[in-house]
Amino acid sequence: MAAAPPQRLNLSKTTSRAQPRRDLLPPLDWTAGHGPVTGALSAASGAEAVAMVGTLAHMPPGWPLAIGAAGALGHGIGNSLRRHLTARSMLTRSTSWLLAGGWTSFAIATSPLTWLATGTLAALGVGIGAMASSAAWHEEAVEEERLAEQRRNQPPAPDPGDDGFDPWRRQMAEEWRERVWRICRVAIKVVAVERWDNGAGFSVGAVLEQSASGAVTWQRVDQGAKAMAGDARLPLGCAISVEEGDQQGTVILDIPTENVMAGAYEYPDDLSELSINGPIPWGLLGNAREIAVSLREACALFLGPPGSGKTTFCDGVLCGFYRCTDVIVWAIDFNAGSLGLPHVEPWLEAQGLRPADPTMPALPKQARPGIDWLASTPGEALKMVEALIRINAARKVQYADLMRKNNTRLLPVSAQVPQIVLMVDEGAELLSASNLKDPAMRDLKEGIREVMRTTRAMGIREILTAVDGNVSALGDTQIRKFSPVGVALTSGESSGNNLAKLFPNARVDTSQLNEKGSGVIGSATSDGFAPRPFKAWNVTPATIRRVQAKTWQRRPALDKVSARAAGEDYAQRWNPERAGWMWNGTDDDGPSVYTERDKAADRRPGLNLRSLRDQQPPAGPSDAEMDALARRFMDEIDAQFGTTDEPGTKEASTGTPTGLNLSALRDSTPSSGPDWLPDALAAIRDAGPAGIKLSAIADTVGRSRPAIRTALRGLVERGELVYRDNGPHSVYVHPDHA
């Protein structure tokens, strides 16, 4: 009987359950690189395998170590440098290769199957895994920081909205937005691009965007102005000017495309009325717009080397004052009046004191001179400065009610009470320490500094010019401190020294400002402006005459209070004895202009010492003229001092006057001189043997120290007072106590 075939069991269901489900297992990517864990396992297992094979094959123990060193150099260092990995990743890779090679050599030399070899291999695997994990985290952090830096360095995208710009403005806005970001690292949003009227450039107005590190200021953009000008390839002489806008957080860039500083610009035809209470134009900025300065409360200091156009610039400043209805100009110029004479000559011609030039605009006889008082000697300058000090004192008292009505501590300057501006050409030099040995210059220096310090409220200000701005030329640093308005003319300079002395923090490329009349101007007044390049107007003598001819009617007279305080020094300022040098010159043809008016001069009141003033007279006077001059000289002295007998002479007993008596000048209490002199002498006498300082005398009589020193100097020279020179402790002593 045949056996029945075996039955087949259906094991499909059981088999399907026994087979693993591939969708439940983690997927394996055999092309993926090792991570920190798999890398450590791979290194440990590989080292174990090599050690086992090397032991069976009797491999030299040094070979695995050499292979590990090669891997450290090639894979650990070379490959890491190629992939720009960090130093930590480079160190981890190199160390792993060296440790694996070193353990393998150790295992071949001993035995890979010992507990020591197995334990050390496990420890190395854990260490390599930890190092790899740390390196991976560090690499990820560095990569994220690098990507963030790239995002920060990416310039912000422009606003896609409608900006209202035409194609040219849109192009300039995008170009300068990108340039400011690239050079200054400041993000801006351009809101305006305007061409200049003269076509010499354009201005860009922008809002400063907030950065990730915080708010930025417009000074950041200003620091890159020079670099941006070079990046934009602007012509030489075109310096970008950066300033704050009308709101904080905004900036304006003035970008010249033509060198305005290289041109010559005449004084403007617009001679409309101005006031010292408002800004007065002094020149042109790089965008060809006028730069105006306020001088009601400010003194000014002009610096410029010879040939820089300083005198021409001063002429333009004076023309600005002529347009004002409330300014009187006084001037001190020891260089034969070279600064002031062109401004006085039109008036001298109107008075018939100089021959008129028919080709030039003429002034009427009733016109006032452009410069109201001009001094060319230290003595005349000292009279002027002392008059200013007296005017300051008088205005404080006499105009107290006026200031109270206007609720101000500043004198309300107007055409009725004009401001006095004293311009001192090369005035800083006369303040230098080299003039301290000259008593007159010492008094003048002290007076100029006193005017600068004490007269601001009463409408008296000074303008000083100098070649250099160092302390040896200015005497001390007070001149710069009391001169908030500064001008540094840079033509002829090689290192920008004057710019650094006037504006230490200014970032202006003066190498671009090498044309005459160009420089840097700045004002630290309340309505002032940061230092910026500018160009002075070209002012000629014909320009001065044109301006004076159009403005003489608005020129004010000195108010009565000030005129009384200035006294005879001011009233007689145009007397021939003091001002005759202005018209007592010679023509190129030879004959003296003044000799044609000798007879008229003889009829004028006062003493005419023309023969003492002419350095090169055309011809010597005759004996008869000398006798007449001597008689006039004696008559003038008799009229001034009186003719009496000397005490103790024979003629005195008979009562017959025979000679000149000047004993009044020898009295210890003089009968002539300032009215305060007896009080000063009484104070010196009351001080006793210890004497009294000059400052104490000034406080006693209420006068300035230069005025007192001048009055007492003559008494000291005649032996009627004793002066003990002891530096700051010097005193005057009366002869009764000497």
Q: With CA atoms as reference, report the closest residue to 384 among 438, 415, 430, 315.
A: 430
Taken in order 170, 171, 175, 178, is the CA torsion positive or negative? Answer: positive
Distance CA 422, CA 382 (A): 12
User: Cα(73)–Cα(96) distance, rounded to whole angstroms?
Assistant: 12
With both helix axes pointing from N to C terminus, report the angle between 439-454 and 705-717 in degrees, rounded to the nearest 10.
160
pLDDT at 159: 52
Domains (range + CATH), the chain: 36-153 (no CATH), 167-258 (3.30.980.40), 297-576 (3.40.50.300), 592-641 (no CATH), 673-737 (1.10.10.10)
Which stretches of 497-582 are DSSP H helices?
497-502, 541-551, 560-566, 568-571, 576-579
- By residue count, the chain amounts to 738
Q: Which candidate, 268, 259, 287, places its Cα nearest to that of 196?
A: 287
pTM of the complete model:
0.60
CB burial readout 288-313, b (16+ within 10 A) else e: beebbbbbbbbbbbbbbbeebbbbbb
Q: Burial, 681: exposed, middle or buried (Cβ in 10 Å; 0-12, 13-18, 19+)?
A: buried
Q: Which amino acid is at 415?
A: A
The reported pLDDT for the residue numbered 19 is 52
Q: Which helix (H) or strand (E) holds 16?
A: helix 12-18
Tell me which residue of 218, 237, 217 sits closest to 226, measured CA to CA. Answer: 237
C-alpha dihedral sign at 37, 38, 41, 42: negative
SS3 content of the chain, % helix, strand, coil (to 5): 50, 15, 40
Measured in whole angstroms, the distance separating CA 541 from the mean position of its chain's CA atoms is 30
Q: Residue 290, CB half-sphere, CA atoms under 13 Å: how many?
A: 13
Structure tokens belonging to residue 679? 């009080």
Q: pLDDT under 50 in the chain at which residues?
A: 1-18, 30, 160-162, 586-620, 641-671
Q: For the purposes of burial, counting CB atoms within 10 Å of the CB of 161, is it exposed (0-12), middle (13-18) or buried (19 or more)? A: exposed
- For residues 284 and 241, the answer to whether their CB atoms sit within 8 Å is no
Spatial distance between the Cα atoms of 720 and 680, rounded to a whole number of angstroms: 13
Query: What type of residue is 70?
Result: A
Token pair recorded at residue 496: 């920008």
Beta-carbon-side half-sphere exposure of residue 268 (alpha carbons within 13 Å): 16
Tokens of 105: 């050599």
Q: Which of 133, 136, 132, 154 is closest to 144 using CA atoms?
A: 136
Q: Give me 80's structure tokens.
A: 């890491």
613 in Cβ contact with 601 (< 8 Å):
no
Alpha carbon distances (Å) from 120 to 92, 113, 130: 18, 12, 15
At 441, which amino acid appears?
M
Using an 8 Å Cβ cutoff, are 340 and 503 in contact?
A: no
Q: Give the pLDDT score at 521.
A: 92
> What are all long-range contacts of 702-705, with beta carbons under 8 Å and residues at least 24 apart?
702/393, 702/676, 703/674, 703/676, 704/386, 704/389, 704/390, 704/447, 704/450, 705/446
- Dump pLDDT digits (tens) for 217-262: 888 898 898 899 999 999 887 888 888 888 888 999 999 888 888 8
Each residue of 97-107: pLDDT tens digit?
777 777 777 77
Are the C-beta atoms of 441 and 430 separated by less than 8 Å?
A: yes
Query: Which 3-state string (H, E, C) describes 35-84?
Result: CHHHHHHHHHHHHHHHHHHHHHCCCCCHHHHHHHHHHHHHHHHHHHHHCC
Alpha-carbon distance values, 642 to 277, 572, 634, 645, 656 (Å): 50, 22, 10, 10, 14
Distances (CA, A) of 182 to 146, 175, 188, 235: 18, 11, 11, 21
